[in-house]
Amino acid sequence: MMRAHSAHLDHDPSRVVARFFLPGEGLASSHSRLTQIVARVLDSPPQLTQESADRVVEDLAERGLDRGGIDLILANARAVRSRVLDSAVLTPSQALVIGAAFTAEYAVEGAALCNPSAMVHPSQEGLAPDQLRVAVALRCIGEGHISSIGFAEAMIDADDTWTFLPRAAPVTGPVISAGDWSRHHFGRALEHEGQLSDLANAVVGTLPDRFSVPELERALLTLPDELSSRPDSREPIRALRDMAASAYRADFATSAPLSARVLLPVAPQEDHGVEDARFVRFTDEGGTTGYRATYTAYDGRDIAPRLITSPDLRSFAVHRLTGTGARNKGMALFPRLVGGRHLALSRTDGENISLARSDDGVIWDDVAIVHRPTELWELVQLGNCGSPLETEEGWIVLTHGVGPLRTYSLGALLLDLDDPSRVIARSTTPLLEPRGDLQDGYVPRVVYSCGGIVHRGILWVPVGVGDARVQVYSIAIDELVSSMTPHRR
């Protein structure tokens, strides 16, 4: 039913970032290896060390990583030197070689590229009539099946065609800094994780209305010694610090093109991946527009939804989501307040689409189930495929259903504009199925999206195929609505 377009994106293993590399399982177990590696460099003849340093610089230049890469390598050398050397002075070539020994390239999409989320680009300058510039968030899967968030740019032209613009290189990471909290949200987040102990409650009560990590550390210093030094206080104090550090900011240089930016895992709770970002251009009650997204943080054992806010897709603030409405994958935020409250579609019970609401956008209550699996192509579970899209007919919600053979297909719901808990109509047959050349991939039998966009009466949907590549499909809004079956409760 949906129209296929020739535009596509494939994963590109040459899109790499340089990052700190530590041999072994951790700094403590690797300390002897650090010492041995540094000693080998110091014992190497100066000429060989210089030749090795020159090769490092040449290799970085070939990758386009020479500017930031050399800075990172020297920072890594300083970090290692502080742990294994006392007063030795390193030559520039020794510093480069030692730092490079503890630096590795990481291909952010070496394994796959999938689950795109489309939104209006923050820059619409210099366009012809009826053109639209689109920003697309991407799930980039790299070594170890660890996911990051990348971006692409596209153009919808007046002749109803979609073109992906060439992606910029080299890939660029942000500068990370501490985020801030409201005291109320911090307490609710601790409660959400079962960590609001008596000690934590006492510390939270001394915090200002808004605070960051330094204010928390000052509050911890006010604890009586007989309390802070107790063995059973160590875990609550660690939990407080971990919680505070889980909020952070990521800021890219203004010179970094959107398609070169990548958000890598930062907090311990997401060190196994930041997955399936669902972005939306959000308009607040005052008419100010910005961007919001939910994503799934994965630590190798547990998952949890997280919130990203950004005014411009250059500066990002990352925060926890808490409450009964924020306990599973796949939250999708509405693009504006409805009835004066934030709304989101979620799947808190694992198989049904439900509605959640919030007064502040971070603490969510589960309201009601909106739709349950009804057709055989969605018999295993049902979920959204991105934020609801506002049209005159109602909120269009792209859905995915999981059926026999773990087949992921796309469908849609039409929700009432004023009461999104009410389903007006729904797809009884899939809009798109993984058949033919859509069947194979990194994960077979999957078509999936994290969000489409409406332009000039047409719904455009970038789709992840087989969790491996991205293709683009479209359908006219009136055709989509007329294909749906009126819903009877």
Q: For the chain, what percent of residues have pLDDT higher than 70? A: 97
Residue pLDDT, tens place only, 453-472: 999 999 999 999 999 999 99
What is the model's pLDDT at position 327?
85
Same domain, 383 and 259: yes
Mean pLDDT confidence for 274-279: 98
- In this predicted model, which residue has the larger pLDDT, 32 or 174? 174
- In this predicted model, which residue has the larger pLDDT, 77 or 230? 77
Mean pLDDT confidence for 93-114: 95
Mean pLDDT confidence for 127-138: 98
Could you tell me if residue 15 is inside a domain? no
Give yes or no for residue 110 having a pLDDT over 80.
yes
Mean pLDDT confidence for 67-82: 87
Cβ distance 171 to 16 under 8 Å?
yes
Q: What is the pTM of this model?
A: 0.94
**Cα–Cα distance, 49 to 204 (Å, whole number):** 53
Could you tell me if residue 33 is inside a domain? yes
Which of 49, 78, 101 terminates a domain? The answer is: 101
Which of 76, 101, 126 terminates a domain? The answer is: 101
Residue pLDDT, tens place only, 142-162: 999 999 999 999 999 999 999
Mean pLDDT confidence for 436-460: 97
Could you tell me if residue 16 is inside a domain? no
Of the pLDDT bands very low, low, confident and very high (cuts 50, 70, 90), residue 231 is confident
Same domain, 217 and 352: no
Same domain, 29 and 73: yes
Lowest-confidence region among 79-88, 179-188, 372-381: 79-88
Same domain, 217 and 73: no
Residue pLDDT, tens place only, 353-390: 999 999 999 999 988 999 999 999 999 999 999 999 99
Same domain, 388 and 481: yes
Domain of 221?
180-245
Residue pLDDT, tens place only, 34-50: 888 998 999 999 999 99
What is the model's pLDDT at position 27?
47
